[in-house]
Amino acid sequence: MDGPTGVVFPATGDGRRSTTLLGRAVVADALRAVDPVGARSAEHETDWRHGYLGHFRRLVEAGLLSREAALTVARDGLAALHARMRYVAADGNEVALEEAFSLLDREPPLETATVTGAGPVERELSLPYRGQRLRGDDLRRRLDAWVDAGVVEPSCAEAVRAVQANPDWLDLRDQRIVVLGAGAEMGPLPSLLRWGGAVVAVDLPRPEIWRRLLRTAHRYGGRLHLPVRPGTGDDDAALAAGAGADLLHRLPQAARWLRDLEGRLVLGNYVYADGATNVRVATAVDALTVHLGRHRPDAALAFLATPTDVYAVPAEAVAHAERGYAARGLARRSLRLLSGGRLLHRNYPPGADPGINDSLVPQQGPNYALAKRLQRWRAAAARDAGATVSFTVAPPTRTRSVLRNRALAAAYAGAHRFGIEVFEPATSNTLMAALLVHDLRTGGGPAQEHPWRDEAYAAAHGGLWRVPYAPRSALGLAVLLGLGGARA
């Protein structure tokens, strides 16, 4: 058939499926009950591709009025997205998103193959960092250094130390940790298998992905459960050719397979796609989350949040940034003067509590922002409903998707000049896996009085929250410095 299938944007009167109309409408609906003026502003935005930044900031600001305001924004945003998005089956039948799971799938149900690794099981937390593997006192010193430099929040270091002090927490054989986007560089799969865990891997039916995952599974001591087509053989070549579940195009088939798995599920969301497809796949995962929640109410949820978003941050982070701003007075004034006031704005108004850290990057676009905000909304709504939720702000990381964007790659190369540490993928995904373990063993971490504090807890933002300058006001300079460094 012609046209997209699976989870799709709603069609307009002329048959187009507009990402701009969808994004603008969802943001407006999320704001409407709490900030009607902001909702009207979003509805009337004529340049959504470039003007979305202020509206996504307003979503956070509106939620600061109260806990209930934040939850209203989250619930209404989720409802707006689910009410609009559609599902097109392989035969062309188009239905509302929530009706997708009632469609009969012409493909046979997926089966489960299990691969048990032959490697050792580790019961000591260690972290790869700049060519070394940190453990014990070396790891503790690195955590202290990150806190002192403002690279991670103190609660992040405390959570990692708790895992370090309780090595039995790493034994996750009592959980079935579903890694959606199992091949993602930022995902926890390698660490979970290293610690002997039971990992349920979900990714596209692409043999190159599964060959890599199978090599990882054999290297460590955990167990990897993977979806396979009926009749798939049990050798690695056959498994790589027959494995995979397509969340975007065959959502009912994937849901049925996950629903029937034994054990307590931890649904980990690590999916990513480029452009508008990112919203589609993020919506597919959210629909799957809602569906599984009805059938598996004991399921826990796990999310990795991007650091390049808007967050409310604690007063201590504001004070840290202000000390740095005061210490760089002469250099800052000179650059601001030369740039006509466009560069190096202060990160926060003095004494802000909480502060608003706006690290949105225009180059990532409104589709990326909506896909990531959707995950934040789901985390807040699910936690309020009583689910165990692991939500962690991850550090800036040199992933393949970032390095493909020349401007972002250059900005990351120059970021250290402003006190921002950009992590290597192995460091990031191990650190995030340790925080996932902490959250699973502590019921989602300590209870907080407001969703913004849940998001700030254990954040590993790489320094974006505590640097002296508003990130976008230093972005262009970081790009220039990064390009210069690359040429050198």
**Three-state secondary structure call for residue 176:** strand
Tokens 């050719």 locate to 241
For 192-245, how does the pLDDT look when each residue is reduced to its tens digit (9 = 90+)? 999 999 999 999 999 999 999 999 999 999 999 999 999 999 999 999 999 999
Quote the pLDDT of residue 331: 55
Quote the pLDDT of residue 327: 86
* One-letter amino acid of 352: A
Q: Of 266, 207, 254, nearest to 87 (Cα)?
A: 254
The DSSP string of 199-267 is EEEE--S-HHHHHHHHHHHHHSSSEEEEEE-TT--SSHHHHHHHB---TTT-HHHHHHHHHT--S-EEE
Antiparallel, parallel or unpaired: β 389-393 and 310-313:
unpaired
User: Per-residue pLDDT for 329 more than 80?
Assistant: no
User: Per-residue pLDDT for 485 more than 70?
Assistant: no
For 22-56, how does the pLDDT look when each residue is reduced to its tens digit (9 = 90+)? 999 999 999 999 999 999 999 999 999 999 999 99
pLDDT band at 488 (very low <50, low <70, confident <90, very high): very low
Quote the pLDDT of residue 272: 94
Please measure the distance between the N-terminal and C-terminal CA atoms of the chain and give it in whole angstroms.
Answer: 51
- CA angle, residues 316, 319, 323, in degrees to nearest 5: 140
For 254-276, how does the pLDDT look when each residue is reduced to its tens digit (9 = 90+)? 999 999 999 999 999 999 999 99
User: Per-residue pLDDT for 107 more than 80?
Assistant: no
Determine what percent of the chain is predicted with pLDDT higher than 70.
95
Quote the pLDDT of residue 333: 57
Quote the pLDDT of residue 386: 96
Q: Of 10, 3, 4, nearest to 96 (Cα)?
A: 10
Quote the pLDDT of residue 104: 72
For 402-454, how does the pLDDT look when each residue is reduced to its tens digit (9 = 90+)? 888 888 888 888 998 899 999 999 999 999 999 999 999 999 999 999 999 99
What average pLDDT does the chain have? 93
